[in-house]
Amino acid sequence: MKLFITGIGTEIGKTVCSAILVQYFKADYWKPVQSGDLHYTDSHKIKAWTDDTLCHPETYRLKLAASPHQSARAENRQINLDDFQLPETQNALIVEGAGGLMVPLSDDTFMIDLIEKLKLSTALVVRNYLGCINHTLLSIMALQQKNITLEYLIFNGNFPEDTERVISNFITKETKIIKIPEIESSDKEHITAIAKQLKITKL
């Protein structure tokens, strides 16, 4: 099982959800591009929040906390899709993207192009806010246009019933649904507890 974790935007809990799935599937972890926070990366967080997880090294580590294409330009670099290769492992693998599907890696390549290049199924993380339905449905449409499989839809946190229903009605029966409750604290104890109780359902 190899899965790319993406989201409908930035700061919606992709890393927390990745940690829960790493714990649930006993998977390795890989963050292809880390922009900023090099002193405490998403790989550092996964190691702190899970049990002895193997975190594969990032392909790009960029200092500026910004969109990857901007962070790379600040260092006179350019992100090239050909530089990315899936880590070799016998374990399950959780791959976490940066931001949403249309986050630019360069002036003409985007996160969705990386998913396509790696030939991975996706899990789309959704968080409730005004506009999340629009962002979710547009993200699902973008994946469909690229023929990228939406393996899981992850509702991260509490959702109004009306919001959840409209979003759920837009996915196919092949897509499985994961509901992750509001997490009190991003730490190993809470991540482990949620992973143990995780339920994966279908429509």
Per-residue pLDDT reduced to its tens digit, 34-72: 999 999 999 999 999 999 999 999 999 999 999 999 999
Q: Where are the domains of the chain?
A: 2-201
- The Cα 40–Cα 45 span in angstroms is 7
Q: Is 8 annotated as a binding residue?
A: no
Q: Is 174 annotated as a binding residue?
A: no
Percent of the chain with pLDDT over 70: 100
Residue 10 has pLDDT above 90, yes or no: no
Domain 2-201: give its CATH code. Answer: 3.40.50.300
First to last CA, the chain: 21
- The Cα 16–Cα 27 span in angstroms is 14
- The Cα 143–Cα 93 span in angstroms is 20
Q: Is 182 annotated as a binding residue?
A: yes
Q: Is 79 annotated as a binding residue?
A: no
* Cross-strand pairs, 93: 2, 28
- The Cα 127–Cα 129 span in angstroms is 6
- The encoded tokens of residue 14 equal 């992709």
Residue 203 has pLDDT above 80, yes or no: no
Q: Is 98 annotated as a binding residue?
A: yes
Answer whether 9's CB lies under 8 Å from 33's CB. Answer: no
Residue 202 confidence class, pLDDT cut points 50, 70, 90: confident
- The encoded tokens of residue 3 equal 């899965």
Q: Is 194 annotated as a binding residue?
A: no
Q: Is 12 annotated as a binding residue?
A: yes
Which residues touch 49 (CB under 8 Å, ≥6 apart)?
Answer: 16, 19, 23, 186, 187, 188, 191
Could you give the residue numbers annotated as active site? 31
Answer whether 14's CB lies under 8 Å from 96's CB. Answer: yes
Which pLDDT value is given to residue 147?
A: 96
Q: What is the average pLDDT across 9-18?
A: 92
Residue 191 confidence class, pLDDT cut points 50, 70, 90: very high
